[in-house]
Structure 1
Amino acid sequence: MNPLILGLLIVVVVAAVAGGTAVLQQRFSPPQNREGYNEVAGSVFEIVSVLYAIVLAFVLIAVWEQMQDAQAMTYEESGALVDVYWAAQDLPDENRQAVEALCLEYANWVIEEEWPAMATQRDTGLDGWEMIDEMRGQFNQAIDVTDQTSLGLSQDAEETIAVLSQSRTDRLNTAQSGLSAVMWLVLIAGALLMFGILLLFGVPGRLAHVIVVVIAAAMVALLLFSVYELEYPFARGVAVEADAFRLALERMSHVR
C-alpha cells in the first residue's frame, strides 16, 4: 500500500480511537470532577511532553539521516563498480573481458537478487562477495611484477575494489540496522503516557478537550509512523531504490 495512504489511515484510526476514548471518559467522569487535577496534570504533562518530544525528534532525525546516508552509499558503491570496469580496460583482453563480465553480473545481481532480499530483510548470501574476490583475482593475475606501470595499475585497482567492498559492507549493515526493541518501547510507552495525562485534564468545554486529545494523538501517530517507515532504508514504503546500479549499468554500456 502507498505509504501516504497507509499513514493517513493510521492517523485517522488513532485519532478516532483517541477521540472515542475521550468521549467515553467524559460520559463516566465529567470535566468538573477532574478540574482539581489540572495543576498537577499540567506540570507532569509539561515534563513528559518535553522529554518525549526530545527523544522522538532525536530518533526521527537519526533515521532520516540514515536514509540519506544509505542512498549515498548506493551511489558510492555503484561508482566504485564503474571505476573497476574502467580500470579493466588496461588489462590483457582475457582478464579485461572477465572483469567486465563480473562488473555487469554484479550490478544485475544487486538489482535482481539483493534488493528484493533487503526489502524483506533476508540474508543476501555470499555471491556478491565472491564476484568481488574474483575481480581482485583477475587484476592480480594480470600483474607483471617487473613492470612499474602494471604494478601501479594493480595498486589503483586494489584501492577501487576496496572502496567497492567497503561500500557494500556499509549497505548490507545499514539494511539490517533498525531501532532496538527498547527504543520502540520508549516511543510507544511515552506516547501512551502523554495520552493518559491528557485524559486527566478537566477542560470545561467537552468538545475542546476531545479536539485537544485528537490533535495530540494524531500528531504523535504521524511521527511514529514516519519513524517506522524510515527505520529500514531498503525496506518498507519509502525504501531506497536500486537506481544507482541501473545508472551504473548504463554507464558501463558506454565504456570504450
Structure 2
Amino acid sequence: MSPLIMGLIIVVAAAVIAGGTALLQQRFSPPQSREGYNEVAGSVFEIVSVLYAIVLAFVLIAVWEDMQDARSITYSESSALVDIFWEAQDLPDEQREEVEALAFEYADRVIEVEWPEMAAHESTGLAGWQIIDTMQSQFDQAIDITDETSLGRAQDAGAAIQELTQARTDRLNMTYGGLSSVMWLVLIAGALLMFGVLLLFGIPGRLAHVIVVVIAASMVALLLFSVYELEYPFARGIAVEPDAYRLALERMTHIR
C-alpha cells in the first residue's frame, strides 16, 4: 500500500477515534462538570505537550537524518565499486577480467538479493564480504610492489576497497537499527497521556471540544506515522532504493 494512502487512513482513524471519545465523554461528563479542572489541566497539558513535542521532534529529526545518511552511503559504496573497477584496468588481463566480473556480481547481488533481504530485516550473509575479499586477493596477486609506481597502484586499490568495505558496513548497520522498544513506549505513552489531559478540559460547546481533540490527535498520529516510515531507511514505504548500484552498473558497462 502507498505510504500516502496508509498515512491518510491512519490519520482519519485517529481523528474518528479521538472525536468519538470526545463525544462519549460529553455525553457522560458535560463540560460544565469539568470547568473547575481547566486551570490545573492547562498547567499539566503545557508541561506534557512541551516535553512530548521536544522528544517527538528530536526522534523525527534523527530518523530523517538517518534516511539521508543511508542514501548518501549507497552512493559512497557504489562510487567505491566503480573506483575498484577503474583500478582493475591496469591489471594483467586475467586478474582484470576477474575483478570486473566480481564488481558486476557485487552490484547485481546488492540489487537482486541483499535489497529484499534488508527490506525484510533478514541477514545478508557473507557472500558480499567474500566478493570483496576475492577482489582484494586479485589485486594482491597482480601487483608486485617493486617501485613507487606499483606501490601507488597497490595503495589506490587498497583505499578503494577499504572505502567499499566501510560503506558496506555502514549500510548494513543502518539496516538493522531502528528505534528501541523503550523509545516507542515513550512516544506512544506520551501521546496517550497528552490526549488524556486534553480530555480533562471543560470546553463550552460540543463542536469546539471535538475539533480541538481531533486536530491534536490527527497531528500526533501523522508525526508518529512519519517516524514509523522513516525508522528503517531500507524498509517500509519510503525506503531508499538501490539506484546508486544501478548507476554503478551502467558506469562499469561503459568503462568496459
Q: Taking structure 2 as the reference length, what is the TM-score of the superposition?
A: 0.99
Letter in 1 for 2:140: N
1:150 Cα deviation (Å)? 1.8
Which aligned pairs between 1:153-168 and structure 2 lie closer than 5 A?
153-168=153-168
Partner of 1:237: 237
Partner of 1:58: 58
Runs of 4+ in 1 over 6 A off after TM superposition: none
Q: Deviations over 1:211-242 (max 9, x none)?
A: 00000000000000000000000000000000
1:99 Cα deviation (Å)? 0.2
Q: Deviations over 1:156-188 (max 9, x none)?
A: 100110000000000000011100001000000
1:152 Cα deviation (Å)? 1.4
The alignment-based identity, stated in percent, is 76
**1-side partners of 2:149 and 2:94: how far apart?**
19
Alignment partner of 1:48 is 2:48: yes
**2-side partners of 1:235 and 1:113: how far apart?**
14
Which aligned pairs between 1:102-113 and structure 2 lie closer than 5 A?
102-113=102-113
1:145 Cα deviation (Å)? 2.7
Q: Taking structure 1 as the reference length, what is the TM-score of the superposition?
A: 0.99
Partner of 2:77: 77
1:206 Cα deviation (Å)? 1.1
Partner of 1:135: 135
**Structure 1: runs of 5 or more not aligned:** none
SS in 1 for 2:60: helix
**2-side partners of 1:10 and 1:249: how far apart?**
39
Partner of 2:205: 205
**1-side partners of 2:147 and 2:44: how far apart?**
75
Letter in 2 for 1:106: Y
Whether the 8 Å contact between 2:145 and 2:154 is mirrored in structure 1 is no
Which aligned pairs between 1:169-184 and structure 2 lie closer than 5 A?
169-184=169-184
**2-side partners of 1:125 and 1:255: how far apart?**
30
Alignment partner of 1:216 is 2:196: no
**1-side partners of 2:250 and 2:153: how far apart?**
24
Letter in 1 for 2:199: L
Which aligned pairs between 1:138-153 and structure 2 lie closer than 5 A?
138-153=138-153
Letter in 2 for 1:124: T
Whether the 8 Å contact between 2:95 and 2:142 is mirrored in structure 1 is yes
**Structure 2: runs of 5 or more not aligned:** none
Which aligned pairs between 1:85-124 and structure 2 lie closer than 5 A?
85-124=85-124
Alignment partner of 1:23 is 2:20: no
Q: Deviations over 1:53-77 (max 9, x none)?
A: 0000000000000000000000000
Whether the 8 Å contact between 2:175 and 2:233 is mirrored in structure 1 is yes
Letter in 1 for 2:100: E
Letter in 2 for 1:11: V
Partner of 2:35: 35
Partner of 1:187: 187
**1-side partners of 2:76 and 2:121: how far apart?**
22
1:155 Cα deviation (Å)? 1.0
**2-side partners of 1:145 and 1:153: how far apart?**
9
Letter in 1 for 2:107: A
Aligned residue pairs total: 256
Letter in 1 for 2:22: A
**1-side partners of 2:209 and 2:124: how far apart?**
51
**2-side partners of 1:184 and 1:16: how far apart?**
23
Letter in 1 for 2:18: A
SS in 1 for 2:255: coil
